[in-house]
Structure 1
Amino acid sequence: MEIQILVIGAGPAGLMAAKYAAEAGANVLLAERADRLGGQLIKQTHKFFGSKEEYAGERGIDIAAKLIDECEKNSKISIWKNAQVLGIYPDGVVTVSYQGNFCTVKPEKIIIATGAAEKTMAFANNDLPGIYGAGAVQTLMNVHGVLPAKRILMVGAGNIGVIVAYQLLQAGVDVAGVVEAGPAVGGYQVHAAKLQRHGVPIYTSHSVKAAHGSCCLEGVTICRLDKNWQTVAGSEQYIEADGLCLAVGLSPLTELLWQSGCEMKYVPELGGYVPLRDGNLRTTRNDIYVAGDVSGVEEASAAMVEGKIAGLEVAALLGCRKPDVYQALQQARGQLRALRSGPAGVKICNGLRKVVLEEVG
């Protein structure tokens, strides 16, 4: 099969990019380094916000199942699982480790949707067994059905932190509290309210000072922070716990973008280094597009819409225009503007102004 478009990463953005590019008539290769498709969606049991077009009211795991099914049934999409993309070169050749073999492919266009990786924190004994990233906790619970601990302290009160804390409660775990360095909860209040109704304390303006335990985690010392983010002397508090979950942000997985020569910029509002791109998500390399968290950390809903835009745009450039691609593109751009229009989108929009080379109407 001729490969017109290579989509790297089969999370929410990659699945949508492959789906819409193929529906427009393009031949797509979808490469995923894991042994299953879906990315973060396969561990998200909460219901999505937004509109019907962003699968509002549906759970991430159900959205993943729908998108995977649509991609697997589409004859214009070839799917490679356990496929690690190793490099993208100036002549357009892409090297891939697939099923134990070293392969090369030469697509006309590439959409990079590799997502993001969890950040960690520096504190004493932060390598003790029992200390996890929030994504690891979700994978254990929601994918494999394994409880990560009996009593867990959550660090981070953004959307991921408060959602995972509530999922832990639902699974029967004792949530000892949520520790947040900022002066207020950063996640949606509807999620934080669920924790508060269950009596879970939220320690704002606090951070972790040290973890304790001999062979595994036994407890955590937290401390108060002043307005300059410095530790307040004498504010230490010990909390007994055999699990510590870190939900302290994500960093875009941009290695392939760096390696391929795309121009990058550090933008803290978007999670770190991200590529410069135009309003159609095309990077400074004309054959490479981006979608999802690799271009700036946002909610999964925004990642899916970006995937749709990238898939439709690239397909249209290659002459694949069925059904009405341009009408669908205009609709998707409107969806993305709506998702970013509220107070939660201010930070993202401020970051995008630093990297978007030209706006598209």
Structure 2
Amino acid sequence: MNNLVETDLLVIGGGAAGLCAAAEAAGAGAKVLVMESDLHAGGQLVKQTHKFFGSKDEYAGTRGFKIADILMDEIKSLGDKVEIRTNTTVTGFFHEDGVYTAMEGEESYYRVKAKKTIMATGAQERMILFPNNDLPGVYGAGAVQTLMNLYGVVPGKKVVMVGAGNIGLIVSYQLMQAGVEIAAVIEAMPKVGGYWVHAAKIRRLGIPILLRHTIIEALGDTTVTGVVISEIDDKFHPINEPVKIDCDVICMAVGLTPTTEMFWMAGADMRYVPQLCGYVPFRDKTMRTSNPDLWVAGDAAGIEEASAAMVEGRIAGLSAAKALGYPVDDRKFHEFWARLEHLRAGEVGTKILSGISQVMVDGWEA
């Protein structure tokens, strides 16, 4: 393989945001290269067997893995305008010559020169500290979804789920569908963090949701054999007697953090924003960062639903194509932002908008 690959637009990350960015930019005429570290494009969508909420434009009522197929069909319809390289990790950025380095598989290492770049690098799972949290049998919820929904492998027989956000509730239901017993869902906060419809589904199946509870330690010598949990007070201090639950899997669904290391390397201005769950880049209404050749989209811009990631991807793709000199219809920006506003309506959206306001700037539009 040629040691230097050149393209109009490099999209780092082939998930919901990255695929939509690639489709929008290529539709305007740009030559796009998508690099995805997984063995397949689609990101988290390919693991999602539940039907999406959101809006008709973002495929509400469609299962996540079906949405991935729809986006891939859109990419294929663009012919050779989009190239997707899977099993490929972008490993660095060098300011001296504006070159990225990439590793494809375990053998092929090469450089990439792009006129513009969209980073749709997604998020990584958070974990919490407790004794024996390194025992085999302690999983992140994303790993459990990968095992079950991609490879058809159940992680164990009896699970304690830590976290009652949407991911914890949805994965609990999927585990039950696969014949795995859920001993309990524990949540440190005083209320369920996910949508009530997801909580109601697992409660109807008899799964207890224990609010104001946390994990004290994992039990077992070589693998997980149980867990000790405790009720906690307003200051998250354990109260009452700890309770032991037998299980062979502890599944952690305690949130996500934007994956933003490459933004630091590329010199983008960054800020820690709790409402967006970590450090994220400053951006304008076109999703362009302080680096004039770099855009952000999806969970790397702040943790949200996949529906919002798809719209942000389209905004970034359209803007990057415009910056490259391709003709675009500016009215589409207004349409996409109207769709985002619709998706961000409600209590959850208020929190997200308060976070975005801390990193949104008026300058440097494409």
Asked if Structure 1 and Structure 2 have the same fold, meaning a TM-score greater than 0.5 normalized by the shorter chain, the answer is yes
Q: Find the partner of 1:354 among 335, 343, 358.
A: 358
Q: Which structure 2 residues correspond to residues 173-184 of structure 1 after superposition, within 5 A?
A: 173-184=180-191
Unpaired runs of at least 5, structure 1: none
The Cα shift of 1:73 comes to 4.1
The equivalent residue for 2:21 is 17
Q: Find the partner of 1:263 among 264, 269, 276.
A: 269
The equivalent residue for 2:110 is 103
For the Cα contact (< 8 Å) 1:72–1:79, is it kept in 2?
A: no
Q: Find the partner of 1:142 among 149, 155, 160.
A: 149
Give the alignment's TM-score, normalised by structure 1: 0.96
The Cα shift of 1:277 comes to 1.2
**Structure 2 Cα separation of the partners of residues 338 and 31 of structure 1:** 30
Q: Find the partner of 2:163 among 156, 165, 174.
A: 156
**Structure 2 Cα separation of the partners of residues 196 and 102 of structure 1:** 50
**Structure 2 Cα separation of the partners of residues 65 and 120 of structure 1:** 31
> Secondary structure at 2:257's aligned position in 1?
strand
Report the more deviating stretch, 275-284 or 87-96: 87-96
**Structure 2 Cα separation of the partners of residues 182 and 302 of structure 1:** 25
Report the more deviating stretch, 159-168 or 94-103: 94-103
The equivalent residue for 2:289 is 283
Question: Which amino acid is 1:242 matched to?
Answer: D
Q: Find the partner of 2:260 among 231, 254, 258.
A: 254
Question: Which amino acid is 1:71 matched to?
Answer: I
**Structure 1 Cα separation of the partners of residues 346 and 7 of structure 2:** 39
**2:233 pairs with 1:226:** yes
The equivalent residue for 2:320 is 314
**Structure 1 Cα separation of the partners of residues 261 and 299 of structure 2:** 13
| Paired positions, count | 357
Question: Which amino acid is 2:361 matched to?
Answer: L
> Secondary structure at 2:114's aligned position in 1?
coil
**2:42 pairs with 1:38:** yes
Deviations 1:292-327 (A, max 9, x none): 0111111111111110110011112222225xx322
Question: RMSD of the TM alignment (CA)?
Answer: 1.4
**2:90 pairs with 1:85:** yes
The equivalent residue for 2:217 is 210
> Secondary structure at 1:106's aligned position in 2?
strand
> Secondary structure at 1:336's aligned position in 2?
helix
For the Cα contact (< 8 Å) 1:2–1:27, is it kept in 2?
A: no
Question: Which amino acid is 1:237 matched to?
Answer: V
Deviations 1:211-247 (A, max 9, x none): 1012111111111110112111x33111111111100
**Structure 1 Cα separation of the partners of residues 175 and 234 of structure 2:** 31
Q: Find the partner of 1:132 among 135, 139, 143.
A: 139
> Secondary structure at 1:165's aligned position in 2?
helix
**Which structure carries more strand by proportion?**
2
**Structure 1 Cα separation of the partners of residues 76 and 24 of structure 2:** 13
Deviations 1:130-182 (A, max 9, x none): 11000000000100000111110101001111011111111111111110000
The Cα shift of 1:2 comes to 5.8
**Structure 1 Cα separation of the partners of residues 130 and 84 of structure 2:** 41
Report the more deviating stretch, 147-156 or 62-71: 62-71
Distance 1:2 1:94, change over 3 A: closer
> Secondary structure at 1:304's aligned position in 2?
helix
Q: Find the partner of 2:305 among 294, 299, 305.
A: 299
**Structure 1 Cα separation of the partners of residues 265 and 91 of structure 2:** 9
For the Cα contact (< 8 Å) 2:118–2:296, is it kept in 1?
A: yes
**Structure 2 Cα separation of the partners of residues 86 and 152 of structure 1:** 35
**Structure 2 Cα separation of the partners of residues 191 and 53 of structure 1:** 22
**Structure 1 Cα separation of the partners of residues 205 and 108 of structure 2:** 51
Q: Find the partner of 1:272 among 278, 282, 286.
A: 278
Identity of aligned residues (%): 51
The Cα shift of 1:122 comes to 0.5
For the Cα contact (< 8 Å) 1:254–1:274, is it kept in 2?
A: yes
The Cα shift of 1:101 comes to 2.6
**2:128 pairs with 1:121:** yes
**Structure 2 Cα separation of the partners of residues 296 and 85 of structure 1:** 20
Deviations 1:28-78 (A, max 9, x none): 111111221111011000000111101100000000112123223422011
The Cα shift of 1:341 comes to 1.5
**Structure 2 Cα separation of the partners of residues 192 and 96 of structure 1:** 41
**2:196 pairs with 1:189:** yes
